[in-house]
Structure 1
Amino acid sequence: MTLPTRDTRVTYPDGAVEARARVLHVAAAGEGRLAVITDVTSFHPVDAAWPDQPADTGVIRSGGTAFPVVDAVVAASDGTELFLGAEVPVRKGTEGWAFVVAHLLDEGAAIAEGDEVGIEADAAVRRSLSIGHTACHVASLALNHALAGRWSKPARTDALGDPDFDGIAIDTSRILPDGSVDRYRLNKSLRRAGFDATGLDGALDELAASVEATLAEWAESGAVVRVERDGSGDGLTDRRSWVCELPGGTARIPCGGTHAGSLAELGELRVSFEFSEDGGTPVLEMRTRAVADR
């Protein structure tokens, strides 16, 4: 079967959960699964390079049957072989490679190359993850603002002009339904860059209160959120940005995920912090949760 030679066209950045598509390639994916590649998809896949947002859940409909999608991952092909998830050996956008969304189905799914299919992501799951991802971004900006006074040297700044603690210290980020968990390593390089963590472990309640106060102000504004594409491209690897019209200015963060349409959809935003150590390196963890009557 012919391997794809172009990136998958994706519609999820615009909020779509359904798409009509043509199957380009079907391959065994191991563990009793098939990888189904289509020309277009509304399914958000997990990216092994930065797996912050989980894959959508949902189905592919073909011939009157709904086949559950058990996972969706970013895959890549050099024209001779298809690599799935963590097996992809090159960076996204590498010339000569096609980057595609692989929908993983149970091995017995009756789907073949050339089939016209309907792709349906679960709208409720998508909404909760979109809210969680937007909450993650605004919480990171509010955290940067709260920690701005702890920098003794000039540091690169975030989308609002504060020192970018989140971008500099981030270790891992996980998007959850209606929230997120972010881990920051307070290592020697961060301290050499001018960040003072002295006493931070004993001031976590004060830090949470400061971050929540900023988030409450922003949520009250009902700031509009949108995803902007660089140019008119709608391919999987085309650059996109999360943009939010906050009271202090327009924030723009490169992002390939999905998002709420405004901060009004998030309701009340709550954060909590934990301090720990990992191999002798202090670690700060921030949990963000959107609490709304939806």
Structure 2
Amino acid sequence: MPENTLVTFPAGELTAETTIRLTVPVGDRHGIVCATTPFHPIDHTWPDQPADQGTLTVGGQALAVEDCVIGAAPRDGSAPISTGDDIEVRRDDPDWNWYVVHVVAADPGAVTGERAGLEVDPVWRHGLSAGHTMCELVGLALNRELAGRWTKPVKDDALGHPDFDKLAITRSRIQPTGSVDHYRLGKSLRRKGFSADRLATELPELEAGINAVMERWVAEDATVGVETEGPGVDAMRTFYCELSDGAVRVPCGGTHVTRTGEIGFTQVSLSLSDDGSELRMEAARQLP
């Protein structure tokens, strides 16, 4: 099987000239694996950031990349490439190779070995990158505002506050205009020492605190980026942000802007489910 796909999206790249390694079926559509790509795929294990969109041009034919997914196959070639939820091994399995699969509707034909041009939609990418950076920061701001509700020591976040965001989150969705995160307020969290007493009545105060912190962090125009341990799609990547409150470094496989000022104005709203078992945080951004 071909070696792992090399990716350039951590550095913010939007274009590449590359070689097509192979093609694979993806449902009723067609998947194209290239040696190198700037496309960020959706992660089937934590599908918070949607895939990049754009075009793949081969043999003078521009194909719309409608989706981009993770693929994996045994290195010894004993099985074909699996994609998305059909992958049954962990990302760190040393006996498997990992790929970015560009999904197109039209049959590309016999293109293995051909040169191809890849181009990511820059507006879509920037929106998702800003949404993802905002999502990381509002999680930290939420932790800060909820810090006083913990009665037992738990793991801290990158800024030294109890990491409610990582301990309670159940799902997250990022879009160019913002993000929505859901948190489970169950028995497990209470046993860890979190108190949800009077949370419903204090939501407006919490919102105000988060929004004030976000306004300050955006105004700082702090440096943001992605560090990576290697060039392959399987490499560990880390989001970093040099805030005045401290240096943030957390594992993250997504894309990000280069400065917090690119996020623009942020408005966070909080709500509880009817039975009080789930907290929902919606963060909306407006272009700067």
Identify the TM-score tier after normalising by the shorter chain. over 0.9
Q: Which runs of 5+ in 1 are unaligned?
A: none
CA distance in 1, matches of 2:287, 2:40: 24
Letter in 1 for 2:111: A
- Amino acid of the residue matched to residue 181 of structure 2? D
Instruction: Please state whether the residue corresponding to 2:171 is helix, strand or coil.
Output: strand
Amino acid in the other structure paired with 2:49: Q
Which of 264, 280, 286 aligns to 1:285? It is 280
Equivalent residue for 1:275? Answer: 272
State the SS of the aligned residue for 1:129.
helix
User: Cα RMSD between the aligned structures?
Assistant: 1.2
Amino acid at match of 2:18: A
Instruction: Specify the SS of the correspondent of 2:194.
Output: coil
User: Structure 1 residue 262 and structure 2 residue 255: aligned?
Assistant: no
The superposition leaves residues 210-234 of structure 1 with CA deviations (integer Å, 9 ceiling, x where unpaired) of 101111111111111011123xx11
Matched, 1:50 2:46: yes
Greater Cα offset, 103-112 or 212-221:
103-112
Deviation at 1:202, TM superposition (A): 2.0
The SS at the match of 2:277 is: strand
Which position in structure 1 is the counterpart of 2:242? 245
User: How far apart are the structure 2 equivalents of 1:110 and 1:202?
Assistant: 60
State how far apart, in whole Å, the 2-side matches of 1:210 and 1:77 are.
Answer: 47
Displacement, 1:28?
2.0
Taking the aligned partners of 1:87 and 1:171, their CA distance within structure 2 comes to 21
2:136 alignment partner in structure 1:
137
TM-score of the aligned structures, taking structure 1 as reference length: 0.94
Q: Please say if residues 8 and 39 of structure 1, whose CA atoms lie closer than 8 Å, have aligned partners that are also in contact.
A: yes
Q: Which runs of 4+ in 1 moved over 6 A?
A: none
Aligned residue pair count: 285
Give unpaired runs (5+ residues) of structure 2: none
SS in 2 for 1:259: coil
The alpha-carbon deviation at position 111 of structure 1 amounts to 5.3
Instruction: Return the letter of the residue paired with 2:16.
Output: A
TM-score (norm 2): 0.96
Read off the aligned partner of 2:43 and give its amino acid letter: D
1:9 aligned partner: 6
**CA deviation digits over 1:6-62, x for unaligned, max 9?**
21100001000111111111122222x111111110100011111010000111011
Structure 2 residue 105 is the aligned partner of structure 1 residue 106: yes
Q: Which amino acid aligns with 1:245?
A: E
- Counterpart of 1:55, as a letter, is A
